[in-house]
């Protein structure tokens, strides 16, 4: 039996109280969480050190302005955190961070992870005109009932990895019948138990309700299949790829917001990928015309090859694409098929090696033959 803490407050309030207590009793030096940062309701990840600043925090806000895994990597890139910091992150953000740590782009040391069963987030576009704010009641209603909220990002609608693997504590949000009055925090690790010591609330011995979550998962599975089938129908050979990616403007925003794409200089922005006049000339001997700049699909496929094995399906790429290409669904679909070959779930366990850097002699003999 896992230990759990029942707090007689809503999840949003409960997590803030939890975080305040951590700061106040000196268990952490800082808190990393979503916070309202402007009068017009912009929400951004913030590093908070003073308890009263938590009044504007909205840790479970249904929005992912940036994948937090990317930000935690930036925070710990030059060495692990000098003091304990509590980070409230979504399951996919935590998984992304674990993948980055495997790539030596961050450190887990001194970080305390608070996550939740995640109901998904809205498209970033909806935060611009205040629609997210207006939808909050609807959102929490759906989460309470264990349903998929309408208007979520497609990456979230079809996400079946909504439970964190390695969080120290997990707030159970999905299917929580009484979310306005109480919430339950599962204390998954020793650290989690220790951090929860002395908190207001009732300590229980309890397990996450698998049945409830499995029911939710099956709803997500249905959505996922729909999304994958749609892409399947379109991604038909080279022509299909040209149709899907033809409107790509080459901004590489997908790569820039991708938590896994950590390269300082992408191969596809390097001199190696640059066309010389002679390349254009020789291409034009073979074809009547060349798209300029070239390499639109080459870039997408290249990135797919580079990060597919670690793609956590967070959907950040969709959010940022100025021409609405369903990048995340394509990457998630291809990513999963590669991950399955190696029985690998990105971000499940920091000690699990990335398949592509692990040599196993007895592997894929069928391909050799």
Residues 252-291 that bind another protein (CB under 8 A): 252-253, 256-257, 264-265, 269-271, 274-278, 280-281, 284, 287-291
Applying CB under 8 A, among 143, 173, 174, 321 the residue interacting with another protein is 321
Q: Strand, coil or helix: what is 117?
A: coil
26 binding another protein? (CB under 8 A): no
237 binding another protein? (CB under 8 A): no
**Rounded distance, CA 60 to CA 170, Å?**
12
322 binding another protein? (CB under 8 A): yes
Q: How far is the CB of 312 from another protein (least distance, A)?
A: 18
Contacts with another protein, 59-78, as mask; x by CB under 8 A: ------xx----x--xxxxx
Q: Strand, coil or helix: what is 316?
A: helix
Nearest to 14 by CA among 169, 142, 189: 169
Residues 39-58 that bind another protein (CB under 8 A): 39-40, 42, 44-50, 52-53
Q: Are residues 265 and 316 in contact, defined by beta-carbon separation less than 8 angstroms?
A: no
As given in the structure block, the two tokens for residue 228 are 């994958």
- Give the HSE-up count for residue 28: Cα atoms under 13 Å, Cβ half-sphere: 30
List, in order, residues 6 or more apart from 72 with CB less than 8 Å away: 32, 87, 89, 97, 100, 106, 111
**Rounded distance, CA 237 to CA 342, Å?**
25
The region of 96-104, 150-158, 221-229, 250-258 touching another protein under the rule CB under 8 A is 250-258
238 binding another protein? (CB under 8 A): no
Closer of 10 and 81 to another protein (Cβ): 81
DSSP assignments along 260-278, one per residue: S---SS-GGGSGGGPPPHH
Nearest to 26 by CA among 47, 46, 51: 51
319 binding another protein? (CB under 8 A): yes
Closer of 74 and 138 to another protein (Cβ): 74
Closer of 135 and 339 to another protein (Cβ): 135
298 binding another protein? (CB under 8 A): no
Torsion of CA 226, 231, 237, 239, to 10 degrees: 130
194 binding another protein? (CB under 8 A): no
Per-residue CA distances from 344 to 136, 214, 262, 281, 340 (Å): 35, 21, 20, 44, 6
The region of 79-87, 173-181, 182-190, 220-228 touching another protein under the rule CB under 8 A is 79-87
Closer of 54 and 143 to another protein (Cβ): 54
83 binding another protein? (CB under 8 A): yes
Residues 148-177 that bind another protein (CB under 8 A): none
247 binding another protein? (CB under 8 A): yes
Q: Are residues 318 and 153 in contact, defined by beta-carbon separation less than 8 angstroms?
A: yes
Closer of 49 and 358 to another protein (Cβ): 49
Q: How far is the CB of 369 from another protein (least distance, A)?
A: 38
Q: Are residues 30 and 48 in contact, defined by beta-carbon separation less than 8 angstroms?
A: yes
φ, ψ of residue 205 in degrees (nearest 5)? -110, 120
Q: How far is the CB of 38 from another protein (least distance, A)?
A: 4
Closer of 52 and 137 to another protein (Cβ): 52
């Amino acid at each position: 039996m896992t230990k759990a803490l029942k707090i007689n407050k809503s999840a949003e309030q409960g997590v803030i109280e939890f975080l305040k207590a951590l700061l106040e009793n000196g268990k952490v030096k800082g808190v990393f969480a979503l916070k309202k940062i402007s009068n017009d309701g912009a929400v951004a990840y913030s590093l908070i050190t003073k308890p009263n600043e938590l009044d504007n925090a909205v840790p479970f806000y249904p929005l992912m302005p940036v994948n937090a895994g990317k930000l935690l990597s930036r925070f710990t890139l030059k060495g692990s955190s000098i003091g304990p910091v509590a980070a409230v992150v979504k399951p996919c953000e935590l998984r992304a961070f674990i993948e980055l740590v495997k790539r030596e782009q961050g450190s887990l040391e001194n970080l305390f992870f608070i996550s939740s069963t995640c109901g998904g987030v809205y498209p970033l576009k909806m935060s611009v005109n205040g629609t997210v704010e207006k939808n909050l009641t609807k959102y929490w209603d759906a989460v309470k009932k264990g349903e998929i909220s309408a208007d979520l990002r497609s990456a979230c609608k079809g996400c079946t990895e909504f439970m964190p693997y390695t969080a120290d504590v997990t707030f159970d949000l999905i299917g929580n019948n009484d979310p306005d009055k109480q919430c339950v925090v599962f204390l998954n690790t020793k650290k989690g138990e220790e951090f929860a010591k002395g908190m207001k609330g009732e300590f229980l011995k309890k397990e996450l309700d698998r049945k409830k979550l499995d029911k939710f998962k099956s709803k997500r599975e249905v959505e996922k299949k729909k999304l994958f089938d749609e892409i399947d129908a379109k991604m038909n050979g080279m022509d299909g790829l040209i149709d899907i990616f033809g409107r790509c403007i080459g901004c590489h925003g997908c790569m820039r917001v991708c938590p896994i794409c950590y390269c300082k200089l992408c191969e596809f922005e390097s001199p190696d990928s640059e066309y010389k006049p002679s390349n254009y000339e020789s291409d034009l001997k073979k074809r009547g015309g060349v798209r300029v700049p070239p390499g639109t699909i080459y870039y997408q496929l290249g990135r797919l090859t580079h990060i597919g094995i670690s793609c956590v399906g967070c959907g950040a790429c969709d959010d940022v694409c100025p021409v609405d290409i369903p990048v995340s669904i394509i990457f998630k679909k291809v990513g999963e098929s590669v991950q399955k070959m190696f029985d690998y779930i990105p971000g499940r366990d920091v000690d699990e090696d990335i398949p592509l850097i692990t040599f196993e002699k007895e592997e894929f003999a069928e391909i050799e033959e």
